Structure formats: C-alpha cells, structure tokens
Amino acid sequence: MTTTGDGEREPDLVAPHEEPKSWGIAAVTVVSVAAAFVVLWGISQHANMVMPAFLALNLVIAAQPLQRLLDRAGMPRWGGMIIVLLVLYLLLAALVGMLVWALWIAAEEIPQYQDRFVELYNQTIEFLGRFGVNEDQVSSSLAGVDPGTIIGTVQNVAGQLSSAGGQLTVLVIALTFLVFDIPGIARRRAVIARQRPRLADALSSFTHGVKSYWIVSTIFGLIVAVIDVVALLIIGVPLALVWGVLAFVTNYIPNIGFVLGLVPPVLFALLTGGPVDAIWVVVIYSVVNLVIQSFIQPKFTGDAVGLTPTVTFLSLVFWASVAGALGAILAVPLTLAVKAFLVDADPRMRWFSTFLTTPDADTKRDRRRAGKLPAPD
C-alpha cells in the first residue's frame, strides 16, 4: 500500500516483472514437455541405433569389475582393454548363438506337432460348444485363429533374424569404441565431480545400479533356466533345452518375462502329454518364479536399483512402446538413466524420487552421501 498526499492509501501496483515471471514458469514447462516428446520421438524413430548403443554402454559398465581386477593384477591398460573386449564379444556371441540355435531347433520341430495342434484346436471348439454355446458360434468367433497360420508364424521367426543384423553391427561397433574409451572415464568423472558433485554422485549410483542389475539378473537367470530344464526333462516336455534358453533370455524382461518364457513349454506339454503335464509345467514355473524372482532376486538388486515394483512395470510398458523389444529388455537401465540425470542430479527434484524408489534405497543413498557407506564404484 502507498500513501497519497491527502493521507489516503492506495493499493500497490504489481511490479512489472512479476507477471512475466509466472509466464516464464509456464513457458519452461511447455518447452520441457515438448522437448521430452521430441527426444522420445527421436528415440523411437532411431531405436535400431540408439538401443544397441545403450546396450553396449550397459555391457561396458557391467564389465568394469573385470577391468579393475586386471589393473590390480598388473596387466597393462591396453592388454586389459583387449581382454575385456574379447570377454564381451564371447558373451555376446554365446547369447546370440543360443538364440539362433533355439529358434532353429524350434522351427524344425514344430511342424511335427501341427496335426496334434489342429486336433487339439478342434477338440477345444467342440468342448466349448457343450456349455450352452452353439458350436457354429464358437467356430465363427475363432475363425480368424488358423492353426496353420500360427504354426507358420512361429516357423518364420527364425527368418526374422536378418532384421537384427543391423542392430548387432551397431552393438559391436559401439562396444569396441566404449571399451577403448575406458581410460578417459576416471578423468571425466573427476572433472564432473569438481564442477557438478551431485551429478557425479548420481552417475555413480547409476553405474552401480546397472552393474548390480545385469550381474544379478544373469546369475539368477541361469539358476532359473537350469531348474526349468531339469523340471521339463522330468516331465518329458520336448525341447527342454530350448525352453531353458528362452527362460534365461526372458529373465532380463521384468515382470512379464516369466509369462513369455512359460507359454511355449506349456503349449508343448499340452500337445504331447495332455492337460496334466501342462498344469505341472505351470505349477513348477510359478513356484520357481515366486520363490526366486519375486523373493530372493529382489533382495540382491533392490538396494542398488531401488525402483518400486510399480515403477518397474510402468517403465517396461513405456520403454517397450517407445523402443520395442530392446526397450523392454533395457527398461530398468533406461529408467535409472533418466532418474540419474533428471531427478538425482537436481536437489529440487528430491521429492519426486520418493515416488520412484523404495524407502530403503533413499535411506542408503542419503547415508552414502553422508559418508557412512562406501561410495559405489
């Protein structure tokens, strides 16, 4: 309020800079949302290049313990980089080889069960028609589900591997350059720590989380695959090793990977052994998933990753829609990267982190920053 010469009080005028300030916040919000959409659109349009490159970054981060072990053993830096690169190449070749072998064997074996599949298909239609539903209605509603088409689609999966050749090339090239760029990581981290210490801490947490995620997922994926193969062999389900490879690969897909690895062996158990064998496969897979993947594995990854189950599932759906199959496999690391750059690096976004991470993860992060816990590598 201001006082005039005759003693009357007049309301103060709004400072001219206040209104532009409010409009400035709105403009920043609009521009930020638009930029996010542009970035996501660019990722979706160039996912064949972006996702393999990001996968290569994840593999190099996961291989850092091996690099440090070689350094402590007195191995020359260039020798250690070559060994790390060769190990990553061998692991990549083994994974691709297992997938190609599994698809090839499945494509050769599936035609042998086509007659049984058609028979089961017809029996299902007849069975459903006994529950007061006209058989013609059931047949018309399932007319689009052609057993021959399904079998042909599964057989053609092996022929789609050529489309992944470009992504594999990008992955190998990016892997090579990133491994030989390892010596500069420590120098860059020191520069960032001096200029943006919070960002450096966020990046360290990201690399620690990525290493723990991939290492633990690989170990438990192998455990689950071995148990599944043994169970399938006991039950007598064909292609047990193939479904074991599928279980190992789908273990990297959070939440729904279990279902993707379950459907094929259940279908083959139904075709060859009947409903009882199929039910046994469902029960064994469910128990293994519940005990190992739902109770034991999260105890090892929760402290490092710290994402809530809801955020993990939503990130899976989101990144799969943006970047396809590789987006689903890389959903957790992608979310950790976004969280590191946009949430952990900005103290003003601390409140948002409470919606993304578990309480234990926030507590451990705060204790680490206070120096009560060792900093991640």
Interval 76-126: pLDDT, tens: 888 888 898 999 999 888 888 887 888 788 777 777 777 777 777 677 767
Q: Is the pLDDT of residue 17 over 80?
A: no
Share of the chain above pLDDT 70, in %: 74
Q: Is 307 helix (H, G, I), strand (E, B) or coil?
A: strand
- 136, 286 Cβ separation under 8 angstroms: no
Burial of residue 316 (number of CB atoms within 10 Å: 0-12, 13-18, 19+): buried
pLDDT at 133: 59
Report domain extents, the chain: 46-127+165-369
Residue 20's pLDDT band, with cuts at 50, 70 and 90, is: very low
Q: Highest mean pLDDT range out of 149-153, 178-182, 352-356?
A: 178-182
* Lowest model confidence (mean pLDDT) among 13-27, 59-73, 228-242, 268-282: 13-27
Across the chain, mean pLDDT equals 77
Q: Is the pLDDT of residue 228 over 80?
A: yes
* Lowest model confidence (mean pLDDT) among 10-24, 77-91, 152-166, 309-323: 10-24
Residue 21's pLDDT band, with cuts at 50, 70 and 90, is: very low
Residue 54's pLDDT band, with cuts at 50, 70 and 90, is: very high
Which tops the pLDDT comparison, 160 or 328? 328
Interval 110-168: pLDDT, tens: 777 777 777 776 777 676 666 665 556 555 655 555 555 555 555 454 444 455 667 78
Q: Is the pLDDT of residue 233 over 80?
A: yes
Residue 302's pLDDT band, with cuts at 50, 70 and 90, is: low
By residue count, the chain amounts to 377
- 21, 14 Cβ separation under 8 angstroms: no
Q: Is the pLDDT of residue 75 over 80?
A: yes
Which tops the pLDDT comparison, 293 or 21? 293
Interior angle at CA 67, CA 198 and CA 179, nearest 5: 80
Q: Is 10 helix (H, G, I), strand (E, B) or coil?
A: strand
Helix extents (H) in the chain: 18-45, 47-62, 64-72, 77-109, 114-128, 135-141, 147-155, 165-180, 183-195, 197-235, 240-250, 257-273, 275-288, 297-305, 309-329, 331-339, 350-356, 359-369
Return d(Cα 149, Cα 114) in angstroms, integer.
Answer: 11
- What predicted TM-score, i.e. pTM, was given to this entire model? 0.73
State which amino acid sits at residue 180.
F
Handedness of CA 270, 273, 275, 276 (dihedral sign): negative
Return d(Cα 126, Cα 147) in angstroms, integer.
Answer: 15
Q: Would you tell me how many other CB atoms lie within 10 Å of the CB of residue 154?
A: 16
pLDDT at 316: 85
- 232, 278 Cβ separation under 8 angstroms: no
Interval 244-288: pLDDT, tens: 988 898 888 776 778 888 888 998 888 888 889 999 999 999 998
Q: Would you tell me how many other CB atoms lie within 10 Å of the CB of residue 351?
A: 8
Average pLDDT of 307-330? 85
